Structure 1
Amino acid sequence: MYRFLVTAVLLCTGSVLQAQQSNIEDAAAFSKDIHQPGVQVFDVRTAAEYNTGHLPNALQADYNNKAEFSERVKYLDKQKPVYVYCLAGGRSSKAAQWMRENGFNKVVELENGVNAWKLAGLPLEGVSEKKAQMTVDTYNKGIAKGIVLTDVGAAWCPPCRQMEPTLVKFLQKNKNVTFVKVDGGNDIDVMKAIDAKGLPTLILYKNGKEVWRKQGVSTMEELNAALKL
């Protein structure tokens, strides 16, 4: 009986260790697996780090910024795989543990992070010279006349990406609305000038006057109601 129990414990322990190890992949396996349908790639570095080069189709939330991380992680699908990474593996390990404890079905970590990705000779996206910021003067001229909707967002922001289809439908329906896009990872001077502190931030102007604003995901109903203000 004793031998049986010991054997059973060892087998269970081995199974647990194997399961834990399968949640961490080297760069080669990670690179292959993130191209599977339905996979969500999640960069938990800062926005500044993200802009120095990131993995394909990666969303971003700074794990060390608890408010930002908590807000953006809500827009990931818990039923679909999440492949998470950072610079060296420390932050992504903590983020992955949090997600597993909070109902995410499958979370896979990139072993040793972007450092290992580079050592493996794999390419990063978004590696280029920093583009010029939109000036505050250009922005002010863009909102001066008519009905203008400003969207402060970024392609790597999970709630921004979720918001995009609603914005497209809204603008298609309301041809009289001019759309101004502010890059939340680049147009810092404009963001400061309009006091946009989070992504996404939507602002509606009428002849240069702000009549409505919302930080976070907006519904079609909210946008339509803002037009009547």
Structure 2
Amino acid sequence: MGRVFLAIMLMLTGITAMAQQQQAVDAAEFDKDIQQPGVQVFDVRTAGEFSTGHLPHALQADYTKKEEFKDRVQYLDKKKPVYIYCLSGGRSAAAAKWMRENGFANVVELDGGINAWKRAGKQLEGVAEKKPQLSVADYNKAVQAKGYVLTDVGAAWCPPCKQMEPVLEKFFQKHPQVKKVAVDGGNDQDVMKSVEATKLPTFIFYKDGKEVARKQGVMELAELEKLAGL
């Protein structure tokens, strides 16, 4: 009896594991599912591919850049569903496998990727949103203000940047005298090079036009305040 029970349990475990490894749905199902609250949409293409059009509310990390991918994926919630895609399905399948093996409970792939999404006649966001870069001259002028200036180098599609949004909101509510300068990490490449910001998010404090502190990554409010001596 014990052996029969053990065999059944092993069979069920195997079926469950197989089901977890084969969670891929077509564009219609994917589109319907990502409209549910709490779903995280994850694009694992390159930043260049992402800028040509992406799914609604998508976060991005380049799976081919292992350090970037692992850094950004840690800011996704492992307990909430992650709907993942790439161009045709290869990279997202590999990324989904890694995520399942590293504690993500529910990872669903877009079968066929963006190519299948387009074939199904579905629209992408960000296709016609290309905007002029913030010039280095305009950036330098902005940070020359008297008093404190905080430069936020980030992007709406960057997972750790999203995590910092409520922290920044509290910071500027508490310190309204600090001027904010936003640098779009997906667009303002010239400024990023000029300030040597290589990762998102990067925060740079200026006082009376001179840089006094900087740090990359996610912080608590107290740490952000301490960074500038506020």
TM-score norm. by structure 1 comes to 0.92
Against the structure 1 CA distance between its residues 70 and 13, is the aligned structure 2 distance closer, same or farther, given a 3 Å change threshold? closer
Amino acid across the alignment from 2:200: L
- Residue in structure 2 matched with residue 194 of structure 1 by the alignment: 195
Offset from partner CA, 1:113-140 (integer Å, 9 cap, x none): 0000000000101111521000000000
Q: Which runs of 5+ in 2 are unaligned?
A: none
Partner of 2:126: 126
Deviation of 1:16 (Å): 5.4
State the Cα distance separating 1:59 from its structure 2 match: 0.3
- Cα distance in 2 for residues equivalent to 1:209 and 1:191: 17
CA RMSD in angstroms comes to 2.1
Q: Distance in 1 between matches of 2:161 and 2:12?
A: 43
Q: What is the CA–CA distance in structure 2 between the aligned matches of 1:189 and 1:14, rounded to whole Å?
A: 51
Match of 2:138 in 1: 138
Corresponding residue for 1:220? 221
Relative to structure 2, which stretch is displaced further, 19-28 or 146-155?
19-28
Q: Which AA in structure 1 matches 2:162?
A: R
1:39, CA displacement in angstroms? 0.5
- Aligned partner of residue 91 in structure 1, secondary structure: helix
Q: Residues 222 and 16 from structure 1, CA distance in 2 versus in 1: closer, same or farther, beyond 3 angstroms?
A: closer
Correspondence 1:181 to 2:182: yes
SS of equivalent residue, structure 1 residue 93: helix
Matched-pair identity in %: 64
Q: Counterpart of 2:145 in structure 1: which amino acid?
A: K
Q: Which runs of 5+ in 1 are unaligned?
A: none
User: Hey, what's the Cα distance between the residues in 1 that align with 2:17 and 2:197?
Assistant: 45
The equivalent of 1:116 in structure 2 is 116
Match of 1:169 in 2: 170
User: Which amino acid in 1 is paired with 2:207?
Assistant: K
Report 1:70-149 matches (<5 A).
70-128=70-128, 130-146=130-146, 147-149=148-150
| Count of residue pairs brought into register by the alignment | 223
Q: TM-score, with normalisation over the residues of structure 2?
A: 0.91
